[in-house]
Amino acid sequence: MTPDRRTLLADAALDVLADEGIRGLTHRAVDRRAALPLGTTSAYFRTRAALLTGLVTRLVQRDQAELHAMAEALPSLRTVEELVDGMARLTRQRLTGEGRRRSLARYACAVESVRDPELREILVPRENAGREAVRLFLSRHGVTDVENRAHTLLTCVDGLVFDRLVSGGDVPREALEGLVAAALR
């Protein structure tokens, strides 16, 4: 199925943001990346704020689809090793290939959202099968404050991804094991 024009432009905007940063994100740059006539992006997203909102909405859609697909592919998480394996797979995806590009765009958008409540609202962590799998795992292991522990664990994993995105390399398995151990304490 061919994506609609707004989706095509939002995906092109994600690519521009990943490659050129927030300063490089212009309507013209998106037109060039999408290989469309100049003025196309501004016809669909009149302002820079509208372009950012469209980009962030698309980013969240793609992230949610990725997390749902990962959770569907995982077995029911019963052991610490299974949870760590899943988190290791997620961090690898977020640090390589297309996932790396989305991570670069995601963090640029997160910084922008500090000054833009509309973007911040779109970027608020969403319910998804991956988050639910972590909560179920913690609950099965006797954690009483499941909601806060799951949030802290996932935020820490996100922080490790950011650190490795900036400094290079993979997230060490030992770091993930330590985070899970702390969540279970």
Q: Which CATH number goes with the domain that contains 62?
A: 1.10.357.10
Is 35 inside a domain boundary?
Answer: no
CA distance 153 to 176: 9
CA distance 140 to 18: 39
Is 18 inside a domain boundary?
Answer: no
Decide if 17 contacts 105 (C-beta within 8 A).
Answer: yes
**What global pTM score does this model have?**
0.89
Residue percentage of the chain with pLDDT more than 70: 98
Is 44 inside a domain boundary?
Answer: no
Rg (CA), the chain: 18
pLDDT of residue 2: 62
Is 120 inside a domain boundary?
Answer: yes
Decide if 113 contacts 123 (C-beta within 8 A).
Answer: yes
Is 82 inside a domain boundary?
Answer: yes
pLDDT digits (tens, 9 = 90+) for 20-64: 999 999 999 999 999 999 999 999 999 999 999 999 999 999 998
Q: What SS3 string covers 104-142?
A: HHHHHHHHHHCCCHHHHHHHCCCCCHHHHHHHHHHHHCC
Domain housing 90 = 56-184
Q: Give the number of other CB atoms < 10 A from CB of residue 160.
A: 19
Whether residue 74 is predicted with pLDDT greater than 80 in this model: the reply is: no
| Res. 128 pLDDT band, cuts 50 70 90 | confident
- Pick from 142, 116, 1: nearest CA to 55: 116
- Domain count for the chain, please give it: 1
Is 1 inside a domain boundary?
Answer: no
Is 17 inside a domain boundary?
Answer: no
CA distance 181 to 75: 20
